[in-house]
Each structure stands twice: as structure tokens, then as C-alpha cells.
Amino acid sequence: MLHTARTHDDRNTVFMNPNISNFNGIDIPSDDVLTNCMHCGLCLPVCPTFAITGREKSSPRGRIRLIKAVAEGTLEMTEGFVDEMNFCLDCQACETACPAGVKYGSLVESVRNQMRIQGKESTTALTLKWIFLRNVVSKKYLLKLVARTLGIYQSSGLERLVKKSYVIKKLAPKLSKLQELSPRIDGRFFDDIYPEIVTPTVVPKYRVGFLSGCIMNVAFAKINEDTVKVLLHHDCEVIIPKDQVCCGSLQAHNGDFDIARTLAKKNIDVFLKYDLDAIVMNSAGCGALMKEYGHYLHDDLLYAKKAEILSSKVKDISEFLFEIGLKKPVKEYCHRVSYHDACHLVHAQKVSKQPRELIRSIPGIEYVELNEASWCCGSAGTYNIIRHEDSMIILDRKIENVKIADAEFLVANNPGCLTQIEYGCANNHIKTKVIHLATLLRDVYEL
């Protein structure tokens, strides 16, 4: 079984002098920035923000220098510094490219946590990140209320009116973009349909937990359902704890470690009540964070050990199915299929072989590799709302490659990527359907 969770030892030593540093508190950035970065620049060609600007300060190496300067007290957390930290997608492509093993993702997340603690965020970022992520996404009943309201808005015709409104586009361009990138709410929330324990028709071979998620639960219920159907088909008993909460990934990746830890503890309690072979994820961002629960709670007396246990069981659906072996489909599936690597799957979890092998193993499929498959699509959690223009430049590059691949289906294992690339395809009149691996497999098995 693969396990990619980091331990706290490789990321948590303190490099700066607390008397002069402009960082403070327990979650200060790690010193691997000082000890590991050799300033070789190998990370520059893979960085989407460096590709946009060509400026050193918008590259991983440049940001590391900026962070070091703040850590050493020679630079304040200025507006420009904060802007560079938020310009970064946290895609972690630089981590994959780095020969020195610099943990850039955890570094930028720690810095964002510092920005939050020290009140350095802009009003827009504060509203979206701290109010929406902390107080809506983290609370199931509130998220459902917001989703229901959005669903009514989308289905009532009001959305169409607003879309056509020149005044809204002019006066509130962010709102206008937000609604264009919002997932469709179909009124059926996943956890309202499925019970806590779902059993296959045969004697189960595996007992797996399933994270139904926050946004996945209300806006991607169909993908969750596809995932459960595929797991049942592979002789799994599926445990979907009713008391589970949002995993905390959007919050942690945006630097809100406090709420991420609270959510992590709750999930540890509800999932570890069961003796599980694995906890299966269908969202790359959630999987990446849950594999890090051990890190976030490493100094918690009560939860450190339990967090490590939980993290060791977390598997992306592609990892899990690859390990247990995909069942042979009864019919050939004659379609041209390509695959996009979600950043938090390929770079954060180092999962890239498994989904490709699974797709390639399906009889009848013509697999076509996407150029620059591991280049970010620009979704990056709330990035495509907060930094919409930059996000669209990054998306354009992805869409050019989707056009070249000319596949009927493009598979991606993350809801943000699905929505973003679908949006790009629709705007560019590209017929490729962007689907989750679980949806593809459900179709293959005709479940």
C-alpha cells in the first residue's frame, strides 16, 4: 500500500531568530527553505505564475527569497509580499521539479497562515477565504442552506437574467465571474440519499470509508454516487459516516490552520470508530490534506497518533482500485480518453501512474496523453475567483492542449479541475467531456 503522508520532522524545525523575525506563533514557516533550497532554478520552468510574468519574484525561488527575508526580519509583510503569496497557486509543481526536496507547498501555506494571523489579507481575500471557508464551507447545515439557495437561483431563471445583465457585469464583475464558475446544484445532496453503511450484493472483501466532502456533497452528488457504485462493484462495503465534516483542505491550503485542525479532529473521531481497510477519496485536494492530518496534529497529545493512523489509510480512488485490481468489464469501451493530472494528486500525493494505468487497462479505450498534463488548470480552490484574470491565462494553456488531444473524454479526479476545464471547453466550443474517473468507470461497467 502506498503512503505519501509527510512526517512533521522534515518540515517543522525553526530557522529564524524570534527576536527579529516578522513571523510569529507556533505555525512559523519551516527552515527547509534555508537549508534545502540551492537556488538552482530548476523549479522555474514548471511554475505557471513565472510563465505569466517572467519575473523572478513570481517564481518559487523568488518567493523563497522573499519568505526568507521576512523570516530574517529584513522585509516586512508588505502588500507586495502578500500579493506574491496569493498569486502563487499552491499547485506544488515546483515541489515535483525540485531536486533538493524543498517542501514549497507547506511553506506557502504557513506563510498564508501568518498573513491571516497578522491581519495582512485584503478585504476580498478575507471575505472569500475567512468568512466563506471558515463559516460556511466548514458548517454542513450552512453550506446546504447556501447550496439550496444557489440551486433555486440557478433553476428559477433568475440566473439567466443576471447573466444577460450588462449592469451586473459592469458593477459587480467578480459576482458575474463567480456565478459562471459555480457548479450546478441539482437539489439532491449526496448524504441525504445514502445511508451510513452501504453493502455490496456479495460478501464484502474490503471495508472502506468514504469522504462525501463539503462541496462534493452538495454540488457533485452524482460523482459521489458514481464512486460508491464503483466501490460496491469491487466488493467493498462502504462506510459514509453521517457525522463527518469538511476535511479542511480549502481552509488549510489558504492558511487557516486553526479551523483545519478542528475539522481534522472531528473526522478522525468519526472515521476511526470503524475498522477500515482504506478511506477512499474522490477529490484530490481533500486526499492531499487528509494524508497530512498527521503533520497538522503532530504535537497534539490526544490526536497525534490517531491522525497518523487515519492519514495512512487515505487513498485516492485511483490508488485504491489500482491496488486491489480493476475488474474486467463485460464489454469493450470504444472511446478516445485523455487524462489531466490534478495538482493535489500528482504533485502533493505523487499519484499519476495509477489513474493512467487504470484507464489504459480498459479494453477498447484509445488512450491519448495530454500535453503538459500536470500543468495546473488555474482552478486552485478559490484562486479562479480571487485572481480570475490570472486563472484564465493559465486555463488558456490547458485548453490549447485539450484541443490538441481531441479526446471524447478528459478524466480529472478533482472537482475544481472538472469545473474549470469544463468552463474553458464550453467557452472555446470544444466537445471534449470533462469527467471524473468514477463516472468513466461507472459507464464502463454500466452500473
Q: Which residues bind ligand SF4 (CB under 6 A)?
A: 37-43, 46-49, 60-61, 63-64, 88-94, 97-98, 100, 102, 104
CB of 99 to ligand SF4, least distance (A): 6
CB of 41 to ligand SF4, least distance (A): 5
Q: State phi, psi for 206 to the nearest 5 degrees.
A: -135, 155
Question: Toward ligand SF4, which CB reaches closer, 34 or 270?
Answer: 34
| Helix, strand, coil % over all residues of the chain, rounded to 5 | 55, 5, 40
CB of 308 to ligand SF4, least distance (A): 26
CB contact at 8 A, 88 and 110: no
Question: Toward ligand SF4, which CB reaches closer, 51 or 168?
Answer: 51
The angle at the Cα of 427, spanning 423 to 433, to the nearest 5 degrees, equals: 55
In this structure, what DSSP letter does residue 19 have?
Answer: T
Contacts of 217 (CB under 8 A, 6+ apart): 140, 143, 189, 190, 191, 224
Question: Toward ligand SF4, which CB reaches closer, 52 or 368?
Answer: 52
Question: Toward ligand SF4, which CB reaches closer, 106 or 282?
Answer: 106
Question: Toward ligand SF4, which CB reaches closer, 107 or 221?
Answer: 107
CA distances to 88, 277, 382 from 379, rounded to whole Å, are 12, 32, 7
CB of 353 to ligand SF4, least distance (A): 21
CB of 104 to ligand SF4, least distance (A): 5
Separation between Cα atoms, residue 263 and residue 345, nearest integer Å = 21
Q: 80 pairs with which residues across the strands?
A: none
- Look at residue 297 and give its three-state secondary structure: coil
Question: Toward ligand SF4, which CB reaches closer, 91 or 358?
Answer: 91
| Three cell numbers, residue 54 | 517572467
CB of 349 to ligand SF4, least distance (A): 15
